Amino acid sequence: MSAGTNHEHLYWGVDCGSTQIKVIACDGDGKVVHKRIGRTLFPLLEHVRNTISAGGSGPSPLTEDLLGVKENHTLAATGYGRNHIEFASGKLTEISAHFLGAQQLLQLDGPYTIVDIGGQDSKVIEVHDGRVGQFVINRKCAAGTGAFIEELAHRLEVPLSDLTRLARLHDKDMTLNSYCTVFSGQEVIKILMNGERLENLIHALYASVVQRILEMTSITTQNVVFSGGVMNFNPILIDLFDEKLPDHTTFLVEDAQYCGAYGAALFARGLAEKQAENFSQSEVNVRLAT
């Protein structure tokens, strides 16, 4: 997704996730012109408004009082906190948003499965004939989510940005006995006390994320598409999925953390077009009636 300027009507997608708020603006051709990100903090609406308005040199779609959306802007919301975004013209589930984003970015013809790993949840979504089919969501426990990786990185005192590099230096495949953050935390300390290399341990943590996702459901499509912040920032996960799914073809969507926000922006574009269509249709009806 590349950025540019000089557009008329802008379509905004706001993905209010459990850990981060992602904002995308695209033009009528679906080209991304603004990207913004903020943390999901409270009061939520205040942080959402700030994330939408701030950042970059681009315009804010919000009115001066930040309560509404300006003319020439249409905004749609997705994500865990979408229902709180009262000034959105439309709302869509994260499932639909990731599907719309991935579909536009990759334009895959046949069936595919989207694996979206977020800060506190993970989803496996099947797409058939250009429509969402079955999907599974894990929102109940941190295993197989960004929270699991972050918690253990914190315990190990390793910056998130170093994790993939260290995991690639592993020289042994290990399996953790538990997916649970609390038990894994204890296990990790025990393993390190027994003298195991940190690199092997981090690799095992990543392997457990992949295992957890693959246990959510069986992946039946040839093509598998990765989306969300965790896949975006932990590229070793793609290698590990590739090892576990040797007969599948995998894709990482561009700017994977923004895929849901981009899908929401495309949805906003669809809403605006529909409104315009309805308007011209009613105009036609009026003309016919007089």
Closer to ligand ADP by CB, 103 or 232: give it.
232
d(CA 145, CA 122): 6
Please give the helix or strand (H or E) that residue 132 lies within, else none.
strand 131-138
Nearer to ligand ADP (CB atom), residue 123 or residue 170: 123
For ligand ADP, which is the closer residue by CB, 119 or 144? 119
Least distance between ligand ADP and beta carbon 97 (Å): 10
Contact 200, 172 (CB under 8 A): yes
- Least separation in angstroms between residue 173's CB and ligand ADP is 23
142, 148 Cβ separation under 8 angstroms: yes
- Tell me how many residues contact ligand ADP (CB under 6 A): 18
| Of residues 18 and 96, the one with the C-beta less far from ligand ADP | 18
Exposed/middle/buried for 274, CB within 10 Å: 0-12, 13-18, 19+? exposed
Binding of ligand ADP at residue 13 (CB under 6 A)?
no
Dihedral sign (CA 218, 258, 160, 239): positive
- Per CB under 6 A, the segment of 52-60, 118-126, 177-185, 272-280 that binds ligand ADP is 118-126
Least distance to ligand ADP from the beta carbon of 11, Å? 20
Number of H helices, E strands in the chain: 9, 10
Q: 210-249 mask for ligand ADP (x: CB under 6 A)?
A: ------------------xxx--x----------------
Work out how close the CB of 244 gets to ligand ADP at its nearest, in angstroms, rounded to a whole number. Answer: 20
What are the φ and ψ backbone dihedral angles of 32, each rounded to 5 degrees? -75, 125
Contact between 81 and ligand ADP by CB under 6 A: the answer reads no
Comparison of 101 and 119: residue with beta carbon closer to ligand ADP: 119
Sign of the torsion angle spanned by Cα atoms 261, 266, 271, 272: positive
What is the longest distance spanned by two Cα atoms in the chain? 87
With tokens 């008329």, the residue in question is 8
19 contributes a contact to ligand ADP by CB under 6 A: yes
Chain centroid to Cα 124, Å, comes to: 12
Residue ranges in contact with ligand ADP by CB under 6 A: 17-20, 79, 118-120, 146, 149-150, 160-161, 228-230, 233, 257
